[in-house]
A and B are shown apart, each in its own frame.
Chain A
Amino acid sequence: MTEAPKPTPAANSRAGTKKELPEHFKAYKHVWVAVECEYGVVHPVSFELLGEGRKLADKRGAELAGVVMGGDEAAVSAAAAACFEYGADLVYTVTDPVLTHYRNEAYTKGLTDLVNTYQPEILLLGATTLGRDLAGSVATTLRTGLTADCTELAIDDEGSLAATRPTFGGSLLCTIMTLNYRPQMATVRPRVLSMPMREVGRTGRIVPHALGLAEDDVVTKILKFVADRDSDKPQLAYADIVVAGGLGLRSAENFQLVKALAEVLGAEYGGSRPLVQKGWITADRQIGQTGKTIRPKLYIAAGISGAIQHRVGVEGSDLIVAINTDPKAQIFEFAHLGIVADAIELLPALTEAFSKHLSVNRLAG
């Protein structure tokens, strides 16, 4: 959560460095995942968090709980059942028509009340627009620490949550801890963690909880929801193949070369942060720490230097192929295959090579 952490170890004056956890926080146990369920669909990031939460809970000798809030019984039960199959021991449910769609006030109250009643040690949320909106409110209400956009979660030798995230515009990583406050809260972006195996038929306990809010208590009203049409929406995060470009393409026109290769491969396309700032691509196609995190089978990065903020967004890819004219570019430090070449020349050649190969084999087949 720290905005601008110091590169040196924190000074002793910092409140959080005292070793002893205040007495009233000692009862806080167990690991929770706030499950994101909208329009009857659980966001995959919630399952990814349950997978990671399972590991943290096991390490702490604690239970893993999901928190499912929603408007109708059927959707809430279905989401709870899925939580068990992805590793939860128990699920706290809050079912109330007020919770039919996400609204900050109602969800903040629901989650905050649950935390105060059942006292978890660790609370994880997805770093989605919903999760970030909710996490910031809940952490402030509880006056506890929150670390955003973690790329790694671990339990340290003293049993505390060590949350690692990129810092300084993604040029370094830092590990952040909340030692004297509970719960220890963190958000993780979709696709940063791998999807755990689903254990079909696994069950657990359901603990229902009342919201205690009437519709009249909630000031904000949802007048309309316009779903993104699937065709308009890049499916970058969950694509099998992604082709991306960076400043090495030198002009917006040359970005077409990325699209052409993507088309032949049936891939999604995207780009690095500077391309969004230059207006060559829209923000929803940005790949990296502040854009989308991807885990494709094949990722081709053309003319991208590979700053850490980009690296953390693509590191989960099975095969990273980097094309860059600079043999010293940072991207070659984490790519699997590297080609020192001008992307503007190589991209059309790759498009041609794949296109030919696939059509020849198609005819042969």
Chain B
Amino acid sequence: MRSLAADSFRFCTIGGALLVTFLLVAAIAALFLVPDISDVRANLLSAEMRYSLKLSLMTGILSTLLVMLFAMPIGYALSRFDFPFKGLVKTILDLPIAFPELVLGLCLLLLFGSTFVGSLFKALGLQFVFTKQGIVVAQFFTALPYASRILKSTFDYIDPKLEFVSRSLGYSIWETFRNVSLPLAKNGILAATVISFARCIGTFGTVLILAGGTYMKTEVLPMTLYLNISYGNMGMALTSGIVLTVVSFVAIYFFERAEVGL
């Protein structure tokens, strides 16, 4: 009886995993099988797709760099140091993961549109509402919590005693970070970079609200998909879907190899 219960439990869990995997594979396969390959090639070479791809890559790379620049110290601080309101800071930094993208976009629109923060950036020559810079800001806030969480768990896995020993051997905290923590966090940094890039490239709602979805102006790949599906241009929509999927695949591949969980 006991064995039967164990077998049925095993069957249910594995069965559930296989069912969802099959549905996902079928959905992704449909994206690649439905469109005509010559159409895809033509769409990839179209001016709109080239603009969208170029803008996505440029904003994606810039946002990822900014995300990593901030996520590294955030992840390290959350992992290593105790400071007042640490729990609250961690919760707020993680908030965008649970927030609907559209709401996050709305919040950013209000912050940069009608508060002193927006005016401050404007005075510095940075205008984020309905601009390309806005795309970077939207992508940054969407991807940052993922990167900081990955980096926090990466630093959690690095034994602080290694850093202690390094300090005892005469290395400053900065030298220790460079010689010990950074090389050991290599896989986590790679994973955080790839996931951030994928999140930046794929972000739609936040970008739409803050930067707008203007044809050939703030048109990134998800916007191309959205705009073309609105016009009924399935070929372009599917092509942008394929490009986004390829980016996601590459990201997940690196993420799995780095063996770092969220």
Are A and B interaction partners?
Answer: no
Q: What is the interface of chain A, defined by CB distance below 8 A to chain B? A: none
Q: What is the interface of chain B, defined by CB distance below 8 A to chain A? A: none
